[in-house]
Amino acid sequence: MRFIARYAKDKGRVFEIITVYDTKVEKEQVHKENPVITTLSHEHLAALWFERKMQDDFGIIIQNAFDKRPLVHQEQFPKNLHPMCKDFYAKELEQSEFQPYDYEVINGDGVFQVSVGPIHAGIIEPGHFHFSQAGEKMLHLEVRHFYKYRAVEKMLEGKTLQEAKPIIERISGNESIAYQICYRDILLQASQQELPQALQKRHAFLLELERIIHHLTDLGFIPNDAGFGAALALGSKLAEDARRKMKELTGHRFGFGAIDLQNKFVDTASLHEWLDAMLESITYFEDWITDIPSLWDRLDTTGHLPLKKAVKYDSVGVVARASGLAIDRRLNSFYLKHGFELESELSGDVAARFKVRIAEVKNSLKMMHEFLEADESSLKVGSVADGEYMSFAESSIGELFMAIDIKEGVIERFFARDASFMNWQVLHVMMRRDIIADFPLINKSCDLSYAGNDL
Amino acid sequence: MMKFWNKRIKLGVLTENLELEDEIKSIQKEIKDKVKKKFAGSLAIRMVDSGSCNACEAECNALSNPYYDLERLGIYFVASPRHADVMLLSGLMTFNMQPHVLEAYEQIPEPKWVITLGDCPVMAAPFEQTFAINAPADKHLKITHHIAGCPPSPLEIMQGLLEFLRKI
Ligand code: SF4
């Protein structure tokens, strides 16, 4: 059974704990006077962050857990505040006294600690990495995040679905289309409507376009982190070409606002041509880069994630597929009918994640041909019924899960679990055989989101 | 490798900014003089993300793709605040990032300037105030220039930087 998410809801006198697996959803209620639940982290290691988050958000006590440190609330966050409780209204907080965070470290003769971040050397998002080092060798890494915590979950409470949309599409800029598709599915469930096939195809086209933009960027940056800059020049050129196509089709370079229920006219002939040209470029890229042995020397065997660990941490997305784990939300009849093939590798290293991305770009281009259709159907949304809704999408990083409860027409609880939230928790496993100079390369090969993780 | 050079020659130079070219030409001298006088030949920017959705960063990264190639104007993104003249600040200034942003600012040697990037730091993006957000950024720092957009496109960022240079 694959573990997907665990989160809580404030239901007045009780907290409701929802645990989502691939095959079932479990609900449990605990009284607020004694809000104690038992940890799942012994069976599912990735449950740990969910539970630590619950502890910060609601003050729920996690029994039997081996790690009870705060997660979202950092050194200067006021103690004993649980902002996701319904009786928390504050819109402003004072920084409180600095309380050091107790990092997970390995000690020993000659072992030293390296702290990196939250602000890093490049143009990247903030997050903290804490290494225990024996010389160059990484003995352990603790990933510490939530610097970008904007409290999106709380922000959305009390809003209508419509009001929430512009915020949801800006949770993680690189995955905006995927978030919008999750939102769309919840909107459709709540208004009990079916999506016309033509619209579904348009949306699927845009999701694949988002994926190739993100993958192409990574295909440039990964070799660049191994010192091969020429790949970045070509990769970023192709990514820019695709981003301009996104702008042409949706009016926005990241597709913000693109997933609506109105099909637009597209010039299919020129798009087919564009897709063919793109395929030619990526085939050239693959052919060229496969021929550079000094690069593969860095990518092969680096950042190894064994299949067993990928399963143990319930990993998702490119990371899981590169370790031989066949997980992809597109594994359904709609996508299969349009040419979807699950791309995977077995070696679980940086090279595997790189190769999976190349293969996925090619497969996306193939599907995009199939998704193209000149059709101008549209859908009017009916009224939205109260209820508890869930949806999934496969973003460029991996499986995205979203849950929205609607009560009296407005959002009562919003929850989203980015693929990154799962995969950040397994990142440290990939460091075991490598030296610290490999870290940026390994990190980039996963290219996880900080914004989507922190919410 | 031969394959690469063949392709490279076929592709030629991609750098473009047709819209900007005239403007650039007309103020290139001006920038060069200014950059030379004020920044010893190069303007060094330290990008700091205080809680963005990452699209603003993606557009800054795009500035170094072959189409825009920002560095040819003598403008560089640098790794340390200590090498920087300007802090380019994106994001919502989260509660958790605020102390770190201010620390990074402290580390920039005088004279220094702050440019805000995107709608987030001025609270003009769709995000609303929560306990976890301490924007707008001008509550904490003196802002010299703002580049609007959600996100501003690479071209808009370039234009914004040119405006900034004119301003100071
Ligand atoms: S301004 Fe817009 S694009 Fe930039 S970080 Fe904020 S939400 Fe994202």
Predicted-complex ipTM score = 0.89
Averaged pLDDT score across all residues of chain A: 91
Instruction: Indicate whether A453 pLDDT > 70.
Output: yes
pLDDT at A362 over 90: yes
Average pLDDT, chain B: 84
CB contact under 8 A, A173 and B128: no
The values of phi and psi at residue A26, to 5°, are: -110, 140
Any B CB within 8 A of A82 CB: no
Q: Could you say which of A119, A121, A170 has the minimum Cβ distance to residue B53?
A: A170
Is B49 within 8 Å of A90 when comparing Cβ atoms? no
Residue A419, pLDDT above cutoff 80: yes
Query: Which atom of ligand 1 sits closest to the CA of residue B124?
Result: 1
Is residue B20's pLDDT more than 60?
A: no
Please give the average per-residue pLDDT across A257-275, as a whole number: 86
Is the pLDDT at A376 greater than 80? The verdict is no
The answer to the question of residue B7 being in a domain is no
Determine the structural domain holding residue B60 and report its residue range: 21-167
Q: To the nearest whole percent, how much of chain A has pLDDT over 90?
A: 68
CA A393–ligand 1 middle distance (angstroms): 22
Ligand 1 neighbourhood includes B117 CB (under 6 angstroms): no
Residue B16 covered by a domain: no
pLDDT band, residue B34 (cuts 50/70/90)? low
| CB atoms A171 and B53 under 8 Å | yes
Give the Å distance between the CA of A254 and the centre of ligand 1: 10
What does the alpha-carbon distance between residue B90 and residue B116 come to, in Å, rounded to a whole number?
Answer: 6
Measured by CA distance, the residue closest to atom 8 of ligand 1 is B53
**Nearest-Cα residue of chain A relative to residue B82:** A121
User: What are the tens digits of pLDDT across the range A334-349?
Assistant: 999 999 999 989 999 9
Q: Is residue B77 part of a domain?
A: yes
- Could you tell me which residues come within 8 angstroms of residue A425 by beta carbon, excluding any fewer than 6 positions away? A45, A46, A48, A49, A143, A313
Q: Is there a contact between A441 and A224 (Cβ–Cβ < 8 Å)? A: no
Give the pLDDT confidence score for residue B25 in this predicted structure. 54
Which residue in the set B57, B92, B97 is minimally distant from A124, CB to CB? B57
Instruction: List, for residues A190-226, the tens digit of each pLDDT value.
Output: 998 888 888 899 999 999 999 999 999 999 999 998 8
Mean pLDDT of all residues in A153-164: 93
**Per-residue confidence (pLDDT) for residue B18, from 0 to 100:** 56
**pLDDT above 80: residue B12:** no
Q: How far is A4 from chain B (nearest CA, A)?
A: 23
pLDDT in tens, B50-76: 999 999 999 999 988 888 888 877 888
Whether residue B5 is contained in a domain is answered as no
A74 and B CB contact within 8 Å? yes
Secondary structure class of A438 (helix, strand, coil): helix
Q: What is the pLDDT of residue A79?
A: 86
From the CA of B3, how many Å to the nearest CA of chain A?
7
The H or E element containing residue A387 is strand A387-394
Report the separation in Å between the CA atom of A6 and the middle of ligand 1, taken as the mean of its atom positions: 28
Asked whether the beta carbons of residue B94 and residue A148 sit closer than 8 angstroms, the reply is yes
Average pLDDT value for residue range A101-122: 87
Residue B13 falls within a domain, yes or no? no
Closest ligand 1 atom to residue B92 Cα is: 6
Nearest CA in chain A to B14: A237
Q: pLDDT grade, residue A247 (50/70/90)?
A: very high
Domains in chain A, ordered, with CATH? 1-99 (no CATH), 152-446 (1.10.645.10)
Which pLDDT belongs to residue A394? Answer: 95
Asked if the structure places residue B103 within a domain, the reply is: yes
* Alpha-carbon gap, residue B49 to B59, rounded angstroms: 13
3-state secondary structure of A49: helix
Whether residue A265 has pLDDT greater than 80:
no
pTM: 0.93
pLDDT in tens, A38-83: 999 999 999 999 999 999 999 999 988 888 899 999 888 888 899 9
pLDDT over threshold 70, residue B33:
no
Mean pLDDT in residue range B24-34: 58
CB of B119 sitting under 6 A from ligand 1: yes
Q: Which of B4, B67, B94 sits opposite A147 (nearest CB)?
A: B94
Q: Is A240–B62 a contact, with Cβ atoms under 8 angstroms apart?
A: yes
Residue of minimum CA distance from atom 3 in ligand 1: B151
**Do B52 and A148 make contact, defined as CB atoms within 8 angstroms?**
yes
Going by pLDDT thresholds of 50, 70 and 90, the confidence category of residue B21 is low
Tell whether A123 lies on the interface with B, counting CB pairs under 8 A.
Answer: yes
Is B14 part of a structural domain of the chain?
no
Tokens representing residue B78 in the block: 């640098």
Interface check A16 vs B, CB under 8 A: no
B106-123 average pLDDT score: 92
Taking a C-beta distance cutoff of 8 angstroms, is the pair A130, A142 a contact? yes
Q: Given A76, A150, A167, which is nearest B133 (Cβ)?
A: A150
- A321 has pLDDT over 80: yes
For residue A127, the distance in angstroms to the closest alpha carbon of chain B comes to 10
> Residue B165: pLDDT band by 50, 70, 90 thresholds?
confident
- Tell me how close the Cα of B165 comes to any Cα of chain A, in angstroms: 21
pLDDT of residue B31: 61
CATH number, domain containing residue B48: 3.40.50.12280
* Candidate from A13-27, B17-31, B106-120 with smallest mean pLDDT: B17-31
Please say if the pLDDT value at position B2 is more than 80.
no
- Whole-number Å distance, alpha carbon A313 to ligand 1 midpoint, is 31
Say which residues have a Cβ less than 8 Å from residue A209's Cβ, sequence separation at least 6: A177, A242, A245, A246, A249, A255, A364, A368
Residue type, B66: P
Q: List, in order, residues 6 or more apart from A131 with CB less than 8 Å away.
A: A113, A114, A115, A116, A138, A139, A140, A141, A436, A439
Name the residue in chain A with its Cα closest to that of B79: A121
pLDDT in tens, B129-145: 999 999 898 999 999 99
User: Is the per-residue pLDDT at B29 higher than 70?
Assistant: no
Residue closest to A122 by CA, chosen among A450, A367, A401, A355: A450
Does residue A151 sit at the B interface (CB-CB below 8 Å)? yes
Domain count, chain B: 1
User: Does residue B137's CB lie within 6 angstroms of at least one atom of ligand 1?
Assistant: no
Helix (H) or strand (E) holding A404: strand A399-407
**Considering the domain boundaries, does residue B119 fall inside one?**
yes
Residues in B closer than 8 angstroms to A118, CB to CB, are 97, 100
Residue A304 tokens, joined: 């190894």
What pLDDT score was predicted for residue B81?
A: 86
Highest-confidence segment of A115-124, A392-401, B39-48:
A392-401
pLDDT tens digits, residue range A168-193? 999 999 999 999 999 999 999 999 88
Nearest-Cα distance to chain B for A196, in Å, is 29
CB contacts under 8 A, A 342-401 vs B, are: none
pLDDT of residue A380: 82
Residue B19 has pLDDT above 80, yes or no: no
A147 touches chain B (CB under 8 A): yes
Residue A130 confidence (pLDDT): 92
State residue B168's pLDDT score.
Answer: 81
Cα dihedral A205, A209, A210, A212 sign:
positive
Tell whether the torsion through CA atoms of A350, A354, A356 and A357 is positive or negative. Answer: positive
